[in-house]
Amino acid sequence: MEPATITAAAIATLAFQKFVEAGAGELAKQFTQDAIQKMDDLRKLVWSKLISRDPDLRPTAQAIEQSHKVTSEQLEEITAHLQIAMRKEPQFAQQVQTIAHEITLMRIEDNSSMNQTNYGGTNYQVKTGVDNTNFFGGTHNHGR
């Protein structure tokens, strides 16, 4: 994924991921410690820009930081403000897109293997990736 293709919604989700996820444990399973630190840096950068553009967002920022939770409505509000800021300030847009791209590169991939022994019948082996891609294994006998 190129940095220029990362949307405001994806950036907001990454920046506030630790407040969206069920807990820090789930986040740690998906991202490296460096990525989690970059998410914090991205969130601080986003808040700094958005609050400087619209001081009325300060109470929302304080509520999220204190509760360590973000609602879907708050995330939509942040995304809308971020989209405007990114459109009006291309340099800021490039900066947050680059950081978001770096974070996505630090995602922990499940490279575990799966073994399957088949004794007839239809057998499937399923593995779901972090981006909800499914990998199916099966037995295919051709020419019989």
**Whole-number pLDDT of residue 85:** 95
**Whole-number pLDDT of residue 82:** 95
Is 124 within a domain? no
* Residue 23 Cα to chain centre, angstroms: 14
**Whole-number pLDDT of residue 78:** 93
The total of other beta-carbon atoms located within 10 Å of residue 44's CB is: 11
Number of separate domains in the chain: 1
Is 87 within a domain? yes
Is 26 within a domain? yes
* Mean pLDDT by groups of 10 residues along the chain of 144 residues: 71 84 60 85 94 91 87 91 95 93 77 63 59 53 58
Is 81 within a domain? yes
Is 144 within a domain? no
In three-state secondary structure terms, 120 is coil
Is 62 within a domain? yes
Is 142 within a domain? no
Is 117 within a domain? no
Q: In 3D, which of 92, 115, 16 has the Cα closest to residue 60?
A: 16
* Host domain of residue 10: 3-105
